[in-house]
Amino acid sequence: MSIAFVFPGQGAQTIGMGQALAETYPAARAVFDEVDEALGEKLSELIWTGEIETLTLTENAQPALMATSMAALAAMQAEGIGLDRASFVAGHSLGEYSALCAAGAVSLADTARLLRIRGRAMQAAVPVGQGAMAAVLGLDAETAAKVAEDAAQGDVCQLANENDPTQNVLSGSKAAIERAVVLAKEAGAKRALPLPVSAPFHCALMQPAADEMAKALEGVQFDNPAVPLVANVLADAESDATRIKALLVEQVTGRVRWRSSVEWMAAQGVTEFWEIGAGKALSGMIRRIAKESTMRAIGTPEDVVALKGA
């Protein structure tokens, strides 16, 4: 049995996530305390008792989801279940930072600060209302990419996420995404609908954010991860810290190749995927990609205890 630890991305956030972990495990509480200190604010209060609209702001959701994942990992470690169980780590978009923190490549405090910078930079890269994203269901990645190409017509329109065999996300200028929704339906998509996001992530319009992340990453100490990272833009393993920094910059404008990443891990013999943190979105995607694999979502004390027999 080979296990991959995987970490969720934006959209998994909920008010109250991680609170039971913090109340049950002092090590999990310490994670939230350290993130609060790193950011100079009580992000934990927003996570547990705030308004979902405020938590969902990109600059808050990104460090909050990472903190919740790291709290779950700390709870696992308190029960004697450590990183040594994993053959690979991977994360969906911002989850890649959680994966690297879990693998010891970057400190918790630095990860929190980097994600706050990343969230703000991605939000600021495109004026509100000028960009958009759309989910396309029922088309494969190659067809969805062709739809994006045809819809561009001089604007930016790209395949941003390949999530599973029939779920893909397009990103770009608002007008191009509106054209893409029509073209996707004409190409046979079961559904094509705009997403309620605040910016067009993972496309060329994010270049200002990529430039800002390159500067931010320069000043942060990265070590080689203790477990290989399956990088979003490669769908392959990488263990060199310098190369990983470059991939994190590329990731801002590049495609999240989640389907390909899961297929690659399954081909390397991974039979279990442990989704560590909030929600079960990745487990649903993986179930549609690697049908013979086992999924475990670990976001509550009960989930952690259940692992003890795994």
pLDDT of residue 198: 82
Among 276, 216, 188, 233, smallest CA distance to 12 is for 276
- Integer CA distances (angstroms), 34 to 40, 63, 77, in order: 10, 12, 17
Residue 93: active-site member: yes
Kindly report, residue by residue over 240-294, the tens digit of the pLDDT: 999 999 999 999 999 999 999 999 999 999 999 999 999 999 999 999 999 999 9
Catalytic residue among 93, 98, 173, 261: 93
Enter the pTM of the model: 0.96
Report which DSSP code applies to 225: -
Kindly report, residue by residue over 28-64, the tens digit of the pLDDT: 999 999 999 999 999 999 999 999 999 999 999 999 9
% of the chain surpassing 70 pLDDT: 100
pLDDT of residue 197: 84
Q: What integer is the mean pLDDT of 141-169?
A: 97
Terminal alpha carbon distance of the chain: 11
With a CB cutoff of 8 Å and minimum separation 6, the contacts of 38 are 108, 109, 110, 112, 113
Q: What integer is the mean pLDDT of 125-139?
A: 94
- Read off the pLDDT band of 231 (50, 70, 90): very high
Contact 125, 207 (CB under 8 A): yes
Q: How far, in Å, CA of 56 to CA of 48, rounded?
A: 13
Catalytic residue among 44, 98, 173, 202: 202
Among 117, 109, 15, 27, smallest CA distance to 72 is for 27
With a CB cutoff of 8 Å and minimum separation 6, the contacts of 77 are 27
Kindly report, residue by residue over 73-118, the tens digit of the pLDDT: 999 999 999 999 999 999 999 999 999 999 999 999 999 999 999 9
pLDDT of residue 229: 98
- Confidence check: pLDDT of 310 > 80: no
- Confidence check: pLDDT of 308 > 90: no
